Amino acid sequence: MAPFSQELEPPRNPVRFIPQLVEVFGIGRDAISAWLDAWAAQGLRGLQDEVRLGRPAVLTEGDLQELKILIDENPHQLKMAVAQFEDKSGKKAELITYRRAIKKF
């Protein structure tokens, strides 16, 4: 028996599902259409994100663990925890970067 990822096939007439998918995912018709085209051409592999180059992360996994410890000590004092982290590590980042990192916890 083939793996699950190889068994799924796109619907024969995917256009009829586009409005429902737009509503469910909250993105545009063009993006949904591109997903369906990729699925038809490459199967489920076509729906996976490709590796993208980008700016390296400012905070490493170790930094995130250290930051988590500081935040756990003072959960309502994000700015204080960030200041302690920056003093300790010597790294600086925008507050939004820290907020995004916290969401990963």
pLDDT digits 0-9 by tens, 18-31: 999 999 999 999 99
| Per-residue pLDDT reduced to its tens digit, 44-82 | 888 888 888 888 888 888 999 999 999 999 888 989 999
Among 7, 10, 90, which residue's Cα sits nearest to residue 47?
10
Residue 33 buriedness (CB in 10 A; 0-12 / 13-18 / 19+): middle
- Residue 5, pLDDT above cutoff 70: no
pTM over 0.85: no
Every domain of the chain and the residues it spans: 4-47, 61-103
User: Would you state the pLDDT for residue 1?
Assistant: 42
